[in-house]
Amino acid sequence: MQSALEKTENLLRLRNYSPKTIKSYLFYIHEYLVFAKKKNLKNKNKAIELFLLEKQKLGKSPQTINLALNAIKFLYRDALKLKEKIDFKCAKRSQKLPIVLSRQEIEKIIYQIKNSKHKFIVSLGYAAGLRVSEVINLRIKDVDIEELTIHIKDAKGKKDRITIFPKKLKMEFQNLTAGKENNDLVFESNRGGKLTASTAQKVFQRATRKAEIKKDATFHSLRHSFATHLLENGVDVRYVQELLGHQNIRTTQLYTQVTNPSLKKIKSPLDNL
């Protein structure tokens, strides 16, 4: 088992998978191998089937089940190079609409934050459509303050992209980064070094509670709101796709369901009684 895990980890690193993906793959592969050994399952397809059914019984999401399956496939197909076909398709993913905050709700949230650095973190997350990981990893050299652009490097899927920087935050950026080197992080912790994702999440959650927002929003909801509000402003979905760094336009088109103006114009029949 240890040999299989080591082979898998080495190959994942060589192929430049993210630390988060490596950790997840190794976790599910270890879980699967322990499960198969405990149940004494020699047939790989049967072992995988029972393992995934166990996950389903435990109420795991289709996304989690797919991640576990992809990890096992990587083990057999790539790391161990077994010729036996793993005949499983991914679970159908639930199509939940993203949680989007209104412009007024975002304004209320930002207003509740008194710490200038924390206010800037949340404001920029919304204004540029950034993931929390992209905010905390942002370096001064990645921001072109004259062109009002941000170069996001090694984002999800190891892809770079260019997104917009708001003119409204130009002064805040200059004040926060005064005296720093180009390679320095924009947002550092009070003890120096990188700010953690959990800190940024907590800042957002505290402000959301103070603003009495009832939606089940997270920091990522700022990114959802960025995309939705751009579409409402008439920005072409293909440009929004580029700003978000989505590989497939269907991912971006999900936001059109949240902001469909034709649907919003329809009145309930109750209003006509």
* Residues designated as active site: 131, 156, 220, 223, 246, 255
Q: What is each CA distance from 128 to 20, 51, 112, 166, 245, in whole angstroms?
A: 23, 41, 20, 7, 12
- Map residue 61 onto helix, strand or coil: coil
Tokens of 153: 């490097």
Q: Which residues contact 101 (CB under 8 A, 6 or more apart)?
A: 109, 213, 215, 217, 221, 222, 224, 225
Q: Are 9 and 21 in contact (CB under 8 A)?
A: no
DSSP string for residues in 108-125: HHHHT--SHHHHHHHHHH
The amino acid sitting at 132 is V
The label of the residue with tokens 């398709």 reads 89
Q: Are 2 and 49 in contact (CB under 8 A)?
A: no
Using a 10 angstrom Cβ sphere, with 0-12 exposed, 13-18 middle and 19 or more buried, the burial of residue 244 is buried
